[in-house]
Amino acid sequence: MAKVFELPALKYAFNALEPAIDARTMEIHHDKHHAAYVTNLNKALEAAPEWYERPIDEVLRRLNELPEGIRTAVRNNGGGHFNHTLFWDWMMPGEAKMPVGSVAKAMDATFGSFDSFVEKFSAAAMGRFGSGWAWLVLDNQKNLSVYSTANQDSPVTDGHAPLLGLDVWEHAYYLNYQNRRADYVKAFWSVVNWDVVEGLYLNSK
CB 152 within 8 A of CB 85: no
| 63-92 residues near Mn ion, rule: CB under 5 A | none
The H or E element containing residue 136 is: strand 132-138
Q: At its nearest, how many Å lie between Mn ion and the CB of residue 77? A: 12
| CA atoms of 63 and 59, how far apart (whole Å) | 6
- Comparing CB distances to Mn ion, the nearer of 87 and 194 is 87
Q: Is residue 167 a contact point for Mn ion (CB under 5 A)?
A: yes
Cis peptide before 99 (omega within 30 of 0): no
Q: At its nearest, how many Å lie between Mn ion and the CB of residue 192? A: 16
Q: At its nearest, how many Å lie between Mn ion and the CB of residue 123? A: 20
CB 91 within 8 A of CB 196: no
- Comparing CB distances to Mn ion, the nearer of 133 and 201 is 133
Q: Is residue 153 a contact point for Mn ion (CB under 5 A)?
A: no
Q: At its nearest, how many Å lie between Mn ion and the CB of residue 29? A: 6
Q: Which of 18, 26, 11 is nearest to 167 (CA)?
A: 26
Q: Write out the residues near Mn ion by the rule CB under 5 A.
A: 167, 169, 172
